[in-house]
A and B are shown apart, each in its own frame.
Chain A
Amino acid sequence: MIETDIIIIGAGPCGLFTVFEAGLLKLRCHLIDALPQAGGQLTEIYPKKPIYDIPGFPEVLAGELVENLMNQAAPFKPGFTLGERAESFEKTEDGKFIVTTSRGTKHIAPVVAIAGGLGCFEPRKPPISNIGQFEDKGIEYIVRDPEFYRGKRVVISGGGDSALDWSIFLAEGVAEHVTLIHRSTSFRGHLDSVQKVMDMAASGKMTLITNGEVVGVDGNEHVSEVHVAITGQENHQVIATDHWLPLFGLSPKLGPLAEWGLNIDKNSIEVNTFDYSTNVEGLYAIGDINTYQGKLKLILCGFHEATLMVQSAFKRIYPNKNYVLKYTTVNGVNGFE
């Protein structure tokens, strides 16, 4: 069991800055994030985009901002549980929270701060009615272990880097055969990957179908064929396969948090602007995931919310201690040993 003062769900900019503000109050933090790295959407969606509305930074790349926030948080030695989604919480008799992740990792703390941004990133699933029936029975949205596909027939859908890279990797002596299906004729992956796929298709090392889309999947218990609609062809092409990997990137979903008994309005958690507390005592929501009258989904607003939230967290953890605001200009930043 991982023990800390504040469990932060979401390691995006708001969650990372919480570590710093909590650290100034001598509170320790542990972050949980479904993605394998910190930074949230800044790292996952737009690391190379410039941001212009961070006070004091006329322009900063999203990836750089995350790096700076990590450096700023570092003296307070935050813990991380990455690549695991916060699934559920329970309250102990003494009012603490136990948060359990998708892999069963347990964390305990008197305060939980949800800084979940847009929610957790989950694979985009093609709109095929029986797709759920074959998940993990031949349909996988993420390649966890390429060896799993050794000697198998694999169909991959998508036109981005992950579809291209896995097609190349699996077609080079791992899978028995790879068929890559893409909706258009242009790919948005790296040029050299695109060229490699073209070359491998030309030499028969893989099959490439462009202007095609998997529109159906069939099998007994396990996937045995996919049905492909090809622009300009009346009949669907049926391809016998052992696996279908739809690799269409990730999109954010509120996910399990929707079942946590919190007051939700339009996919956002309602909070009291006094301290960004939710309807569950000891559980706070900050940043893009919360909503209140006048809410703006801006990183700088999330920073402000994090700062006020930790004051309330401090009072909950130490009800008998008085706190006086201390300025970093006076006291500096005294990290944890």
Chain B
Amino acid sequence: MVLMDLNNMEENTVLITVVDREGVGHALEAPTDMGMNMMELCKSYELPVEGTCGGMAMCASCHMYIISDHDLGIRNDDEEAMLDQAFFVKENSRLGCQLHIAPNFNGLKVQLAEVGG
């Protein structure tokens, strides 16, 4: 687990923990003012998220589980449709590309889903 100094964070930044498929947690600083989504955040830190379709909710390679109790709203129709075709889907499944990082993401913890198919 990488620790970060919470007192030394820049403005417009939230702290998000991404647990990879080996169970290792990565504490990531994420900007809230760059229109970034969770798929892009993972890619920018070189975590193993393919983001094959580029963020159109059309491949499920950024499938992740929300493991903290943050309320990130409901899945949109495209996301719901794609998760219907994906594997290892659970109640807390989301597509990272559809989660746009906002101030309420601070302290969020997600786990990368297994890559299926």
Chain A contact residues, CB within 8 Å of chain B = 41, 45-46, 49, 118, 123-127, 158-160, 182-184, 186, 188, 248-249, 251-252, 267, 297
**Cα(A184)–Cα(B82), bound, Å:** 12
B31 to chain A, nearest CB (A): 20
Contact A118 B52 (CB under 8 A): yes
Q: How many residues of B contact A (CB 8 A)?
A: 19
CB neighbours (8 Å) of B56 from chain A are 45-46, 49
B88 to chain A: which residues have CB within 8 Å?
A: 127
User: Which residues of B sit under 8 angstroms from A297, Cβ to Cβ?
Assistant: 54
Contact A158 B87 (CB under 8 A): no
Question: How far is A41 from B59 in the complex, measured between Cα atoms in Å?
Answer: 11
**Chain B 62-102, CB within 8 Å of chain A: the 1/0 string?**
00000000000000000011001111110000000000000
A-B contacts besides A158-B85, A188-B84, A248-B117, 15 pairs, CB < 8 Å: A41-B53, A45-B56, A45-B58, A118-B52, A123-B117, A124-B85, A124-B117, A127-B117, A159-B84, A248-B85, A248-B86, A248-B87, A249-B85, A251-B117, A297-B54
Q: A46 touching B58 by the CB < 8 A rule?
A: yes
Task: Give the complex CA separation of A31 and B105 in angstroms.
Answer: 46
| Distance of A161 from chain B, by nearest CB (Å) | 11
Q: How far is the CB of B38 from chain A (nearest CB, A)?
A: 19
* B35 in contact (CB, < 8 A): no
Contact B53 A183 (CB under 8 A): no
Residues of A within 8 A of B114 (CB): 127
Indicate if the CB atoms of A160 and B117 lie closer than 8 Å.
Answer: no
Contacts of A158 in B (CB 8 A): 85
Once the chains bind, are B87 and A126 in contact (CB under 8 Å)?
Answer: yes
Chain A residues contacting B87 (CB-CB under 8 Å) are: 124, 126-127, 248
B116 CB-CB contact with A under 8 Å:
yes
Find A186's partner among B54, B80, B86 (CB 8 Å cutoff): B80
Asked whether, in the complex, the Cβ of A45 is within 8 Å of the Cβ of B89, the reply is no
Counting chain B CB atoms within 10 Å of each CB, the highest count among A49, A186, A251 belongs to A251
B117-A183 in contact (CB<8A):
no
Quick check: A160 and B53 within 8 Å, CB to CB? no
Among candidates A41, A46, A49, A184, residue contacting B84 with C-beta atoms closer than 8 Å: A184
Whether A251 lies near B52 (C-beta < 8 A) is yes
CB contact under 8 A between A183 and B81, given known A45-B53, A45-B56, A251-B52: no
Question: Which B residue's beta carbon lies closest to that of A183?
Answer: B84
What's the least CB distance linking B84 to chain A, in Å? 5
- How distant is B52 from chain A, measured CB to nearest CB, in Å? 6
13 residue pairs bridging A and B, Cβ less than 8 Å apart: A45-B56, A45-B58, A46-B56, A49-B56, A125-B117, A126-B87, A183-B84, A186-B80, A188-B81, A248-B86, A251-B52, A251-B59, A267-B50
Residues of A within 8 A of B50 (CB): 267
Bound Cα distance from A118 to B56, whole angstroms: 15
CB <8 Å contact, B116 and A127: yes
Which of B58, B61, B89 has its CB near the most chain A CB atoms (within 10 A)? B58
How far apart are the CA atoms of A160 and B60 in the complex, in Å? 15
Q: How many Å from the CB of A331 to the closest CB on chain B?
A: 36
Note all chain B residues with C-beta closer than 8 A to A186. Answer: 80, 84
A126–B117 contact, CB under 8 A? yes
The 5 A-B residue pairs with the shortest CB-CB distance, nearest first, are A124-B117, A188-B81, A127-B116, A159-B84, A248-B85
**Residue among B81, B116, B117 with the most chain A CB within 10 A?**
B117
